[in-house]
Each structure stands twice: as C-alpha cells, then as structure tokens.
Amino acid sequence: MARYVTKVRTRRPPEEVFAYMADLRNFAKWDPGVSRVVQVEGHGGGLGAVFDVTVNTRNKQALRYRTAIFNPTHELLVVAKTRSLTSQDRITVDADRAGSIVTYDATLRLNGARRVGSPLLHFMFNRIGDRASAGLCRALEGEPLT
C-alpha cells in the first residue's frame, strides 16, 4: 500500500474550500496527474456522486470514484476500485483562525498478484503526490503545512 498525506492552509472559508474539493471535476485543475474528470452520477459533490477520473498513465486509465462519505463542510471520502488497484482519497477541511486547513490523505493499494509491485508504487506515488500538493496550494492560494 502507498499513502500520501498533505496539508494546505488557505485564507478561503471552509464552506468554499469543501465545495471545491468535493466536486472532483476540479481535480483536473490542480492535479497534474489528472487529465480529465467527468461526473457520471449526481450534481457536484455529495453522497452518491460518481466521477470518472482519467489519470495520466501510459494508457490514460479512467478510474470510477464513488463518494462513500460526505459530511458537508468537513469530510469527504471517495473510492475507486478496479481488479488491479483500490484508491481512497479522504479530504477533511477544518476551520482555521484565518481560513481553512485542508488535509488530503490518499492511499493506493495494488490488488491480487500485483501486490508485489507495492514498493515501487510507494516511490512513484510520493512523486505524484508532491506535484498534486503543489497544484493544490496554487489552486487554493494556500501554503503547505507538511
């Protein structure tokens, strides 16, 4: 399993930040590892919302993310599962004296026989996560805390 956690402080209010993060269509705006997002169920973020997220792999793999947890203005969990991998992204937004702190906690687990590639996955996932974290800081006009 590979895990990447980043925290970003922004002056934007929690409600605004959470709405932006919960609508996965915004991922393509800040994560250079994502080339396209299409919402296939629901309207914006919310429980039951489903998004096809195309990631920039050699073959432009689309992952179907389903919103599993949705606590408005605070917590979101989206999960994508294929035969070869499971991806979980947990986003929390907490009020800060000057705005918000966003915590983005992503895990990627290879399934089945592919698990032997986990050490390499961890290294690659950290590089991908660092680029996404920098993009998130730019999009939220924030600063990294981790």
pLDDT tens track for 64-121: 999 999 999 899 999 999 988 899 999 999 999 999 999 999 999 988 755 544 566 7
> Is 28 buried (19+), middle (13-18) or exposed (0-12) by CB count in 10 A?
middle
The answer to whether the beta carbons of residues 38 and 17 sit under 8 Å apart is no
What domains can be seen in the chain, in order of their start residue? Answer: 2-144 (3.30.530.20)
Coil/strand/helix, residue 89: strand
| Calpha distance 11→123 (Å, rounded) | 32
The answer to whether the beta carbons of residues 53 and 37 sit under 8 Å apart is yes
Task: Please tell me the predicted confidence (pLDDT) of residue 27.
Answer: 96
Q: Which residues partner with 6 through β-bridges?
A: 104
